[in-house]
Amino acid sequence: MIIGLDAAAREGLDPALVELIQIRASHLNHCAYCLHMHTNDARKAGEDEDRLHMVALWREAQHFFTPKEQAALALTEAVTLVADGGVPDAVYAEAAAHFDDRELAHVLSLILTINTWNRVALATGKIAGTDERTR
């Protein structure tokens, strides 16, 4: 079930954006397993090493990311940390300004999916570097 949602969520999204979202959520959830997997996937897809190093501090290094990527990263943080105060209207509005309705639904689905994968990996004691496979 999660695999199907994951695959559907990625449809039509820039693969680089997909990995940035997954990397940022994995940082926030302290999921080393998924962080290792998605940084490696991003590298294999040709992602710039400097950008990978800056994802955790994207607000302080905004020039590495497009406004659309920044909006997606902000939404990723808000949804991942939803218990800390919900998703601010301004964050959602900024994402909606950069993505059409279909794309925004895919971004939200991707954020929900990576958060689920992070929880599965953490709950089952997955160890970074042991058996990740690219999807």
CA dist 117 and 96 (Å) reads: 25
Question: Structural domains in the chain?
Answer: 2-123 (1.20.1290.10)
* pTM metric for this prediction: 0.93
pLDDT band for 135, please (50, 70, 90 cuts).
very low
- Condensed to tens digits (0 to 9), the pLDDT of residues 29-50 reads 999 999 999 999 999 999 999 9
How many C-beta atoms lie closer than 10 Å to residue 104's C-beta? 18
How far is residue 108 from each of residues 20, 104, 117, 132, measured CA to CA in Å? 13, 6, 14, 24
How many C-beta atoms lie closer than 10 Å to residue 128's C-beta? 15
- Whether residue 26 has pLDDT greater than 50: yes
Query: Which ranges in the chain belong to alpha helices (H)?
Result: 2-10, 15-28, 32-44, 49-54, 67-80, 89-98, 101-123
